[in-house]
Structure 1
């Protein structure tokens, strides 16, 4: 078990994993934690496109960039999020995190569009949050709003990640 101190909440969190290995693999990619690998597997199961190794935005380094489909007539066919993954059971106390201070659109310092919003993902789909424009409105969303089989996909994601031997 390793520890993680959140700069944004001032709390210390324990990271639980199936092994003491330093990394976990999924689809031939190495992830520093099982939680990050599981989210990558979840994104594939949900049909979301994802990337890692995202460039920092000011004082924030997202873990993932994801794009998921949207069939709403006033949307462009998809939405894109920059996500921070934290080993927390709930994201309720993290409203000061840079990811959630970026609602509705994200731009870099030059004004170039990067994503529809920032998001926080915790230990499972119940601990997710983002705020984006959707259709003529928008507002807060979570994984369950976009993925109807989220609980099943999360369960299946565990079997898709592998600790190094």
Structure 2
């Protein structure tokens, strides 16, 4: 049944379900979000469902990062995603990014043992000289260390930016 509607999870039907999941998640009301996330994660194609939810979590967390609602949202979403290690890990890393951006409590070990994804986001978003110095010295990859060193050098030259490190 080449090219048919039921090519399996990776075929055209899977791609359509992925797009439908993303559309539904993008438009969900906050009070319905946890239920919809849990529903998407019941899709028979676990990889596709987790990918759609992961993309949604990244988009929503980015939007909530500098506001005061991220930590409560992370708790709700952690409950909704259950024991899915990748998704719970990503939520923990968004909470840590929020702590760095807002200059809340964090530890060097949390930052240096976090994923490469997290460390690259931190270099892009955080303006703290302490965080950038840590990543320049102990980042997990050469790419992170070099980028953090460059951001740190620009910041020490008096470059202004907003809370997420974007030019002011």
TM class by shorter chain equals under 0.3
Q: Which has the higher strand share?
A: 1
Structure with the greater alpha carbon radius of gyration:
2
Q: Which has the higher helix share?
A: 2
TM-score by length of 2: 0.25
Higher-RCO chain (CA-CA 8 Å, sequence separation at least 6): 1
